[in-house]
Amino acid sequence: MQLTIITDLNKCVGCKSCQVSCKEHNTGGSFGPVPDQDPYADPDGMWWNRIVGMEGGEYPEADVLYLPKACMHCYDAPCVPVCPTGASFKREDNGVVLVDYDSCIGCQLCMWACPYGVREFDEHQGVVKKCTLCIDRIEDETLAPEDRQPACVQSCPTHARTYGDLDDPDSEVARLVAEQRGFQLLPELGANPAVHYLPRRPVASAVDDSKLDSLLTGRY
């Protein structure tokens, strides 16, 4: 089993709902707090999920893209073997990559090893923190079924995020990746991330170019 989150970039408007709902849950969750330095001065806070905004192309064909970036829960997670204490580990039963704060010594080697820059260091607590896929929600059997998913998936206002088991070919996430040409970030680095993104799928104009040409010359 490999649990994961798929984000459909054809539906992400960059609203940061997922960024905040992550912090909202996790700061009070089992792996919290998710602290903020100088919160009312020049703030520098910890976020386990950050939305990256990008611009591409040239006016007027400019592309604007938003991409939520958190732990990729890689199949071959580079953060795991570099950890000198075994604090950074990948769960065998569901593929979720976690940090055991009790054995983390704060050396931050895992932060250097991570190709995606999604691990953050809590100087006060002396440990590395990151997305847990809301493991304390998905495994909490006292929660209602709709709450047993990552907060960022539940909150997403465009339903751009889908959670599930990528190893189950019948799952929604596996189907989306297969049918919509889901892709990984930086696959060439070999970490084989479980997190995938679905590409933009533009809808073309229904108006025929040659008809337009004749109208423009004839009438307009």
Partner 1 sequence: MAIRQETVDPTTVPSTRTVHTTCYMCACRCGLEVRVEDNRVRFIKGIAEHPVNKGVWCAKGGAGIMTQYSPARLTTPLMRDPDAPRGQGGLKPVDWDTALATLAGWLGNIRDTDPRRLAYFTGRDQMQAFNGFWAQQFGTPNWAAHGGFCSVNMAAGGMYSVGGSMWEFGWPDLDESRWFLLAGVAEDHPSNPLKLSIAALKDRGGRFVVLNPVKSGYGALADEWVPIRPGTDGALFMAFMHVLVEEGLIDREFLARYTNAAHLVRVAPGSAGDGLFARDAEGQPLVLGPDGRPRPYLEAAGQGALEGEAVLDGQRVRPALALLLDRLKSATPRWAEALTDVPRRTIVRLALEMADAAFNHPVELPIPWTDVYGQHYDTTVGRPVAFHAMRGLAAHTNGFQTIRGLFTLMMLLGAIDRPGGFLYKSPYPKPVPPPVKPAHGPHDYEPKRAASGPILGYPTSPDDLLVDGDRPLRIDESYSWKYPLAAHGAIQNVIRNAHDGIPYPIDTLMVYMANLAWNSTWNTLDTRAMLTAQDEGSGQYRIPHVVVFDAYDSETVQFADLVLPDTTYLERWDATSLLDRPISEPDGPADSIRQPVVPPPPGVAPTADVLIEMANRLRLPRFVDEDGEPLYRNYADFVQGWETEPGSGVGLLAGFRGADGEGELVGEPNPDQLQAYATHRAFWRLHLPPGGRYFRMANRDYLAWAADKKFIREPAPIVLNLYSEPLQTFRLAGQGFWPGQRPSNPHLAARLARYMDPLASWYPPLEDTLPGAEAFPLRILTQRPMTHYHSWGSMNAWLRQLLHENPVFINPVLAQSLSLVDGQWVWVESRLGRMTARVRLSEAVEPGTVWTWNAIAKGPGAWGLHPDAPEATRAVLVNHIIPDVSPLEGPGIFFNNDPVTGQAGWYDTRVRIYPSDVHEVWPKVTAVPPRRPAAVRQPRLAYTTHPDNPHATGAPDLLHHVGTARPTDQ
- Closest contact distance (angstroms) between CB of 10 and partner 1 is 6
User: How far is the C-alpha of 78 from the C-alpha of 113, rounded, in Å?
Assistant: 6
Other Cβ atoms closer than 10 A to 60: 5
Among 78, 122, 136, 185, binds partner 1 (CB under 8 A): 122
Write out the H or E segment, with its range, that includes residue 17: helix 17-27
Which of 109, 147, 152, 115 shows the shortest CA–CA distance to 131?
A: 152
Among 93, 102, 205, 210, binds partner 1 (CB under 8 A): 205
Q: Spell out the residues 6+ positions from residue 200 whose beta carbon is closer than 8 angstroms to its own.
A: 9, 10, 65
Name the token pair of 138.
Answer: 């998905």
Q: How many residues bind partner 1 (CB under 8 A)?
A: 68
Torsion angle of the four alpha carbons 54, 130, 117, 73, in this order, in degrees rounded to the nearest 10: -90
Q: Please tell me whether residue 36 binds partner 1 under the rule CB under 8 A.
A: yes
Among 1, 20, 109, 113, binds partner 1 (CB under 8 A): 20
DSSP code for 143: S
Looking at 14-22, 74-82, 107-115, 169-177, which segment touches partner 1 (CB under 8 A)? 14-22
Q: Please tell me whether residue 216 binds partner 1 under the rule CB under 8 A.
A: yes
- Closest contact distance (angstroms) between CB of 26 and partner 1 is 10
Q: Please tell me whether residue 170 binds partner 1 under the rule CB under 8 A.
A: no
Q: Which residues of 157-174 are buried (b: 16+ CB within 10 A; e: fewer)?
A: eeebbbbbbbbeeebebb
Q: Which is nearer to partner 1, 188 or 220 (CB)?
A: 220
Q: Please tell me whether residue 179 binds partner 1 under the rule CB under 8 A.
A: no
Q: Please tell me whether residue 37 binds partner 1 under the rule CB under 8 A.
A: yes
- Closest contact distance (angstroms) between CB of 74 and partner 1 is 27
Which of 38, 71, 11, 8 shows the shortest CA–CA distance to 197?
A: 8
Q: Which is nearer to partner 1, 105 or 187 (CB)?
A: 105
Question: Any idea which residue has 């423009």 for tokens?
Answer: 216
> Applying CB under 8 A, which residues contact partner 1?
10-17, 19-21, 23-25, 27-28, 32-45, 47, 55-60, 62-66, 122, 124-125, 146, 151, 154-160, 200-207, 211-212, 215-216, 219-220
